[in-house]
Amino acid sequence: MRMSNEVLLTFLLNAVWQVALIAALAAAGSWLLRNALARYHHWVWVSALCLAFIVPTVTSSRALFDAFLRSPANANTTLAREGVGARPFEFRPEISARASTTSSTFQLNQTLGWALLVLYGAFLLYQIIKLVQAWLTTRSIRRSAVDVEFDARVESIIRNCERELGTPAREVRVMRSETLPVPVTIGLLRPVIILPHSLLREGNSDLLTSAIGHEFIHVARRDYLLNFVYELLFLPISFHPAAALLRRRVKQTRELCCDELVAERILNAEVYARSLVTLASSAPPLRRLSVTTTVGIADADILEARIMSLLKKPELKTRWKKLWLVAVSLLLLVPSIAAAAFAVRFEVEPFAQDPAQQERETKLRQQETEVRMRESQLTDEMKMRMANDPELRKQMARKMELEIEAKAAAEAAMVRLAKINMDQAIQVASSHQPGKVLLASLGAKGWEEPGKLGKDGVVFFHVIIANEGSEGTTHVWINAIDGSFMKSEKELPRKQRSPNP
C-alpha cells in the first residue's frame, strides 16, 4: 500500500511541472513551424501529448523500481551506518543508526498526501465515468443509424473518394442518421461514416463531396482509433490544464490536416472552404460529443483558422520543413529526457509525531545522558588508580587492546554476514509494527570467538518503534541474513530490556 501511494504521488506531483514544461516546448515548436503544413503541427502536438504521459510514467516507474530494489527479497549487501558508539571497558558489537530518507525523496505531511491522493482518485473516477458515458452515447448513435440507400450521385462521390485515397472498395460502411446534424466517423476496427439525413437530401454535390471526403480522410488516417488512444493517454493527466491544452491542439490540428488532404486530393480549396462554413454552422449541438467519442468535420472550434489555412499556401520549402521538424523534435525530446532524469520522489509520511511522543524521546535521551555521566565518573576514578599503579595501567591497556580487536572483528563479521541493509530492515519492522522508528542497530548473538559466530549464532537488526495511539515502544528483531521477522516485544523496564532476541 505504501509503495503504491509513493508511486502515485511521484506521478502526480512530477506531472504538475513536467506536463507544463512539455506543453510550453510544444507551443514553441509549433511557433517555429508556423509556416509549415498542418501535418507538421499535428505531429508536434501528438508527440507532446504522448510525452506528457510517458515522462511522468517513467518517473513513477523509477520510484517503483527503487522501492522494489529496497525490498528484502532483493536486498544487496550495502550497509548504512551512522557511527559506532564505543564505551570504555565495555564490549558491544552493535552498530546504531537513526532512520532516514534519501535526499531525492520528499516526504509530505500525512494529511496533505492523503488529501492529494483522494482528490486525484475522485477526479480520475469522474473522468472515467464521463468517457464511459460518451462511449455509451456513441454506441446508441451507431445503433440508431441505418444504411444509406445509394443513388447514382452518392455512389459516384464514394467511389471517387475511395479511388483518390486508396481505400479498399466497400471497406467503409456509410450510414445515415435522423438526429446527427453533421457527419461523423465511428469504429475502432470497422469504420462507419454516419451522414445526416438532411445532408443526403441536399442537392448540393460540392457540400456532399466535402462531407464524405472529409470523413474518408479520417478513415484513411485511422483517426478514430488514434483518438481513442489519445483519450486513454490523456486520462491520467487530465487534471492538468496544460494537458487539456495539448488534447485540444491535437484535435484542432487533426482537422487542419484533414482539410489539407481534402483540398489536395478531392476538392478545390475554395469550394471546400465554402462547404466547410455551411457544414460547421450546424456543429454546436454535437460539440460536446464530438470532442470525446467521435471524429468528424466539426470537431475543432476553429472555423476561421481552418478557412485561412485552406486559402493560404505554406511558405517553407520541403528541405527547410524537414530541418525545422528535426530541430523541433530535439527541442521536445531532450528536455523531456532531462525532466524524467531529474525528477524527485514523493511519499506520505508513514508516522506522525505528537507532543507525547516527543516527550518520551526527550526522557529517553535524558536517561542515556545520565548513564554516560555515571560511566564518566567511573572512568575518572579508574584514571586516578591507573596514575598511581603502573601495573594496573599495563593490565588495563592490554584489556582495552583486546576489546578493540574483538569489537572490530565482531563488527566486520556482522557487516560481512548481513545480506540486507538497515533501510530494508526498518521497512520490514514497520510492516509488522506501525509507529515512528526511534532507533535501529545491527547486532549478533551466539559468538563462538571474537569475529566468528557459532552454529546457533544469528545476525539481526534491532529496531525500536514508538507505538501508534498508545504509550511505550516496541522492540522488533529482523534477521539480517534473509530479512525475515524474528520477534517483537513491548517495552519493558530498562533494567529488564535486552538488545538480543
Question: Mean pLDDT, the chain, as a whole number?
Answer: 78
Is 399 in contact with 382 (CB distance < 8 Å)? Answer: no
Q: Give the residue, 241 or 317, on which the prediction is more confident.
A: 241
pLDDT (tens digit per residue) in 453-474: 777 788 889 998 887 766 778 8
Is 257 in contact with 38 (CB distance < 8 Å)? Answer: yes
The whole-number pLDDT of residue 72 equals 45
The whole-number pLDDT of residue 92 equals 38
For the chain, the first-to-last Cα distance in angstroms comes to 29
Q: What is the DSSP string of 160-217?
A: HHHHHHTPPTT-SEEEEESS-SS-EEE-SSS-EEEEEHHHHH---HHHHHHHHHHHHH
Q: What gap in Å lies between CA 21 and CA 26, rounded to an integer?
A: 9
Q: For residue 30, how many other CB atoms are within 10 A of its CB?
A: 19
Q: What gap in Å lies between CA 15 and CA 13, rounded to an integer?
A: 5
pLDDT tier, 90 (very low <50, low <70, confident <90, very high otherwise):
very low
Q: Give the residue, 51 or 455, on which the prediction is more confident.
A: 51
Q: Give the residue, 234 or 89, on which the prediction is more confident.
A: 234
* Domain 400-501 CATH (choose: 3.40.718.10, 3.10.450.40, 3.40.190.10, 1.20.1260.60): 3.10.450.40
The whole-number pLDDT of residue 4 equals 75
Q: Which amino acid, one-letter code, is at 83? A: G
Least reliable range by pLDDT among 28-37, 101-110, 236-245, 260-269: 101-110
pLDDT tier, 498 (very low <50, low <70, confident <90, very high otherwise):
very low
∠ Cα 460 462 371 (to 5°): 130
The whole-number pLDDT of residue 105 equals 67
Q: What gap in Å lies between CA 242 and CA 245, rounded to an integer?
A: 5
Instruction: Kindly report whether the global pTM for this prediction surpasses the value 0.75.
Output: no
Within 8 A by CB and 6+ apart from 161, the residues are 167, 212, 213, 216, 266
Q: What are the structural domain ranges in the chain?
A: 148-316, 357-388, 400-501
The whole-number pLDDT of residue 251 equals 92
Q: What gap in Å lies between CA 129 and CA 238, rounded to an integer?
A: 13
Q: What gap in Å lies between CA 60 and CA 15, rounded to an integer?
A: 10
In this prediction, residues 130-147 reach a mean pLDDT of 88
pLDDT at 349 exceeding the cut of 70: no
pLDDT at 134 exceeding the cut of 80: yes
Q: For residue 392, how many other CB atoms are within 10 A of its CB?
A: 13
Find the helix packing angle between 303-311 and 241-265, rounded to 10°: 40
In this prediction, residues 259-273 reach a mean pLDDT of 88
pLDDT tier, 84 (very low <50, low <70, confident <90, very high otherwise):
very low
pLDDT (tens digit per residue) in 385-427: 777 777 777 777 777 777 787 777 777 878 888 888 888 888 8
The whole-number pLDDT of residue 198 equals 82
C-alpha cell at 312: 493560404
Q: What gap in Å lies between CA 307 and CA 475, rounded to an integer?
A: 75
Nearest of 278, 230, 286 to residue 253 by alpha carbon: 230
- Looking at the DSSP bridge assignments, the partners of residue 479 are 460
Q: What gap in Å lies between CA 303 and CA 261, rounded to an integer?
A: 17
pLDDT (tens digit per residue) in 172-192: 888 888 888 888 899 888 889
User: Is 229 buried (19+), middle (13-18) or exposed (0-12) by CB count in 10 A?
Assistant: middle
pLDDT (tens digit per residue) in 176-233: 888 888 888 998 888 899 988 888 887 788 888 888 899 999 998 999 999 999 999 9
C-alpha cell at 36: 509549415
Nearest of 359, 361, 356 to residue 470 by alpha carbon: 356
Least reliable range by pLDDT among 302-306, 321-325, 492-496: 492-496
Q: What gap in Å lies between CA 75 and CA 340, rounded to an integer?
A: 25
Within 8 A by CB and 6+ apart from 9, the residues are 108, 113, 116, 117, 346, 347, 348
What strands, in cross-sheet order, belong to the sheet with 173-177?
146-147, 173-177, 192-196, 184-186, 295-296
Least reliable range by pLDDT among 17-26, 50-59, 98-107: 98-107
Percentage of the chain beyond pLDDT 90 is 16
Is 148 in contact with 176 (CB distance < 8 Å)? Answer: yes
Q: Give the residue, 131 or 106, on which the prediction is more confident.
A: 131
Q: What is the DSSP string of 308-329?
A: HHHHS---S-HHHHHHHHHHHH
pLDDT tier, 76 (very low <50, low <70, confident <90, very high otherwise):
very low
The whole-number pLDDT of residue 407 equals 77
Is 200 in contact with 183 (CB distance < 8 Å)? Answer: no
pLDDT at 313 exceeding the cut of 50: yes
> What's phi and psi for 361, nearest 5 deg?
-65, -40
Pairing mode of beta strands 345-348, 105-108: parallel
pLDDT tier, 67 (very low <50, low <70, confident <90, very high otherwise):
low
The whole-number pLDDT of residue 77 equals 37
